Structure 1
Amino acid sequence: MKQLRPHLDESTYVELVREAQEKDCYKMFGLYDNGRIVAVTGFMPMITLYNGRFIWVCDLVTDQNYRSKNYGKKLLTYVHKWAKANGYKLISLSSGLQRTDAHRFYEEKMEYIKTSYVFLKRLK
């Protein structure tokens, strides 16, 4: 997760995960290769007027030393199955503009459709 969220120190990361689990039903799953975590996903149910009830994939990362081994596909497919089993028909996510390899993965391998830009404003 540190590769995806380098701005978080360990204590802040743990605090945010716990709070998200308690308040937002955030779920986290990982894949292991020879006893080492090589890929992680985090997602949660959401409701918006645009999407209705859906699953928001907050985090999906494969360790840079283990990419191109279908770990991301396996995790995202697991999220799809979890969503379907729990009555969700839509999954959404955002991805940083600089992550062109991830965009290709979402669009070409996972058949996601690019529908919008995500905007952010930091309040002072």
Structure 2
Amino acid sequence: MSTVKELRSQEEIETAFPIMRQLRNHLEEKTYVELVLEAQIKEQYRLFALYENDKIVAVIGFMPMITLYNGRFIWICDLVTDEKQRSIGYGEKLLRHVEQWAKDHKYHSVALSSGIQRTTTHRFYEEKMDYERVSYVYQKSLVDTEHKDVQ
């Protein structure tokens, strides 16, 4: 049986690193933990794990936000299922959990960005989860890439 649990303590956050590393492979565990803890304090970042038989099989991280464009909404920062467990429905369960969390807390929509190269993921969002492709996300790095340890 699968269960969803919010990860709040440093120890809980550390347990999700092997799965999160599959998505954020540029991060070392120490940096990952520091970023999650800081984001929890400064950005209200929430990290949830889906457990199957007491083992984490997928994680999702999101931030409640308010902008003039979207009003009150949830921004999905991270969503990854263990590469050995994909296409079983775990990502869908976590995304639906966040959608319900958003409704329960009076947020009106859920948004995310996905790398251009992730065409299979795009099909998942658009065809299975009913998300619309509404914009492009642009980014400009302001850090010298030789001295950059976090993207």
TM value normalised by structure 2: 0.80
Q: 1:93 aligns with which of 75, 95, 112?
A: 112
CA distance in 2, matches of 1:38, 1:13: 18
Two-structure CA RMSD over aligned residues (Å): 0.8
Overall identity of the aligned pairs, in %:
65
Larger-Rg structure: 2
Report the counterpart of residue 79 of structure 1 in structure 2.
98
Partner SS, residue 82 of structure 1: helix
Deviates more, 1:40-49 or 1:105-114: 40-49
Deviates more, 1:49-58 or 1:30-39: 30-39
- For 2:107, the aligned partner's letter is Y
Deviation at 1:72, TM superposition (A): 0.3
Unaligned runs of 5+ in 1: none
Q: Deviations over 1:27-61 (max 9, x none)?
A: 11111123321100001111111111110000100
- For 1:39, the aligned partner's letter is A
Q: 1:43 aligns with which of 38, 51, 62?
A: 62
Partner SS, residue 57 of structure 2: strand
Unaligned runs of 5+ in 2: 1-19, 144-151
Contact conserved, 2:48 with 2:59, CA < 8 A, in 1?
yes
Report the counterpart of residue 128 of structure 2 in structure 1.
109
TM value normalised by structure 1: 0.97
- For 2:81, the aligned partner's letter is T
CA distance in 1, matches of 2:93, 2:133: 21
Aligned length: 124
- Map 1:56-71; keep pairs closer than 5 Å: 56-71=75-90
